[in-house]
Chains A and B, each alone.
Chain A
Amino acid sequence: MLKIEHIDVFYGEIQILSDISLQIHQREIVTVIGANSAGKSTLLKSIAGIIKPKKGRIEFQGKDITGANDHEIVERGLVRVPEGRKLFCSMTVLENLELGALKGNARAKRKESIEMVFELFPKLKDRKKQLAGTLSGGEQQMVAIGRGLMSLPKLLMFDEPSLGLAPLVVKEVFEAIKRINESGTTILLVEQNVNYALTCSARGLVLERGKVVLEGTAESLLDDDRVRKAYMGI
């Protein structure tokens, strides 16, 4: 579904990603793990069209999207839930969700999508008229995920959804991600919370200083000594 071939990404002169290749099949959950500054967020931003790779090729559903504009990529159904939630804090939960469905089909189906989000996160239904900035961290993450879903994505990318959340809430968020996947959305996850992320994924990649250093099924990574040592502290 998504095919990345040998991309190199730079911020000015500094190379962030080198020779990254990655394939995601329909209905899969794939996780990219790595420490801070490994290039995880940059990878998602490159796929989303916010940064253009200097070399290489990105293909989505058989079409070349390298160098396409960020808003065109969203229209194709490739959506990113940014790191740190990035809600519209002085708007209500409902307004945040509505802004997720901007165009065409997604806009026409707005009402049903909102119901779907409330089904996924019943807590939000009670808080729909509340300002997003006044919610707890977990609830804010739910709004961010819900807002991403509003555009009816085919592939949803999450940039560290567990960032700054309590362990119980993290569990809830990952369960929601699993349910989103079960209803047919392909998922690319970027995480530092290796245990949870890999447990709900099929496959994973380890990114270090902009390079893929390890790749395999989620189980094999969870059993890998290097992963256990470096990211799980075991």
Chain B
Amino acid sequence: MRNVLTLNHRILAKIVAFFLLVVFLVLPVANPVYLHILIMALLYAYLGSCWNILSGYTGQFSFGHTLFFGVGAYVSTILFVKLGISPWLGMWLGALLSMVISLFIGFLCFRYGLKGPFFALATLAFAEMFRIGANNLDITNKASGILIPMTGTSITTFQFHEKGVYYGIIIVFNVIIILITFFIQRSRLGDYFEAIREDEEAAQSLGIDTFKYKLVALAISAFLTALGGTFYAQYSLYLDPHICFGVGNSIEILIRPILGGIGTILGPVIGALCLAPVSEFAREVLRGWSGAYLIIFGVILVVAILFLPDGIVGFVKKHFFQIKMEGEGR
């Protein structure tokens, strides 16, 4: 019995490896459209992983995560366009500002004990405030947004004619976030986060400073999310308040980890890779109805929450590795 199973697992592993090889290496070389889709998928895998640290591991569900994405994108872009500061530097400043903003929001929310849906609504409200602000301020060029002038391929300006370079950068981003998540999960910090997620009152009774660690999770998440914002700005070379601070993008950020499995290391990446073809297909079919693909996202979200409460990762673990897991228990 066991032998047959391990054999099956080996075949399965080979199929998965082959599949990944095709997806990551063959397709992008074969067709630049696939390259673009893959870059966006990996960007949202990265953003989803950032969200996952706060919402997946610590259980504080953010519905306005695009706020931190937008702050990162706008800060590095404004510094670059107006002052000529390299986005490589600007992205760290954006991340710092995003972290400061997140600490302010977190302080208000957690000090007054906002939990669950109330925290989610508060984050949504703050993102909306920034959207309205960006729509009306001169520094963000109001609703028309900011077009980043293309000055030719250069490392210092974070601009490349070759999409392949962006592909390489976003892969590095993903490797880093996976490592960060891995180390958080293994560390004492991860224990605190998960205890807070599982039962805040119990965590409190064990002497965990829940207020502090919720802020820590939020700050880490906001900082890293902002870096993704800069990447997006430099890749698309255009920003507007709707893209950066709109509700749609908040949903884009959280749907992948939910689909893949929240509170897991690889969930956001797996969710992103599974969603990419669906989302591209939906956009293609619903072409002409701008934003209608979000309806498809909504349906996927509902189905995922109903039928895959632990995401794809949870499902696979439960159904394919069940024997192994039970074996460990005895």
Binding site for B on A (CB under 8 A): 48, 50, 69-71, 73-75, 79-82, 86-91, 98-100, 102-103, 129-130, 147-148, 151
Contact = CB atoms under 8 A, between A and B. Distances in A.
A151 B207 contact: yes
Nearest to A159: B205
Contacts of A86: 199, 201-202, 205
Contacts of B208: 71, 102
Interface stretch (B88-96, B142-150, B190-198): B190-198
Nearest to A89: B198
Contact of A130 (B201, B204, B329): B329
B194 A147 contact: no
Contacts of A87: 198-199, 202
Contacts of B329: 129-130
Contacts of A100: 206
A99 B204 contact: no
A71 to B, nearest CB: 4
Give the top 6 A-B pairs by smallest Cβ distance, nearest first. Answer: A74-B207, A86-B202, A88-B198, A71-B209, A71-B207, A129-B329
A59 to B, nearest CB: 19
A90 B198 contact: yes
**Quick one: which of B188, B199, B203, B207 has the most chain A CB within 10 A?**
B207
A82 B207 contact: no
**Quick one: which of B188, B198, B201, B209 has the most chain A CB within 10 A?**
B198
A75 B209 CA distance: 11
Interface in B29-61: none
Contacts of A129: 328-330
B207 A102 contact: yes
Contacts of A69: 209
A14 B208 CA distance: 28
Contacts of A103: 207
Contacts of A88: 194-195, 198-199, 202
18 contacts: A50-B204, A69-B209, A70-B204, A71-B204, A71-B208, A71-B209, A79-B206, A79-B207, A82-B202, A86-B202, A88-B199, A99-B191, A99-B203, A100-B206, A102-B192, A102-B207, A129-B328, A151-B206
Contact of B194 (A50, A81, A82, A91): A91
Contacts of B205: 48, 70, 74, 79-82, 86, 148
A100 B192 CA distance: 11
A100 B328 CA distance: 23
Given A91-B194, A129-B329, A102 B199 contact: no
A123 B194 CA distance: 26
Contact of A91 (B192, B198, B201, B206): B198
B210 to A, nearest CB: 8
Nearest to B213: A71
A74 B202 contact: no
Given A88-B195, A89-B198, A74 B328 contact: no
Nearest to A74: B207
Contacts of B199: 86-89
Contacts of A147: 202, 206
**Quick one: which of B191, B206, B328, B329 has the most chain A CB within 10 A?**
B206
Nearest to B310: A90
Contacts of A91: 194, 198
A74 B199 CA distance: 17
A82 B201 contact: yes
Contacts of B188: 102
Nearest to A150: B206
Nearest to A132: B198
Contacts of A82: 201-202, 205
A69 B111 CA distance: 13
Contacts of B328: 129
B191 A70 contact: no
Given A102-B206, A130-B329, 20 more contacts: A50-B204, A69-B209, A70-B205, A79-B207, A82-B205, A86-B199, A86-B202, A86-B205, A88-B198, A89-B198, A90-B198, A91-B194, A91-B198, A100-B206, A102-B192, A102-B207, A103-B207, A129-B330, A147-B206, A148-B205
B263 to A, nearest CB: 9
Interface string B58-70: 0000000000000
Nearest to A127: B329
A87 B204 CA distance: 12
Contact of A99 (B195, B201, B209, B330): B195
Contacts of B201: 82, 86
Contacts of A151: 206-207
A148 B207 CA distance: 10
B201 to A, nearest CB: 6
Nearest to A81: B205
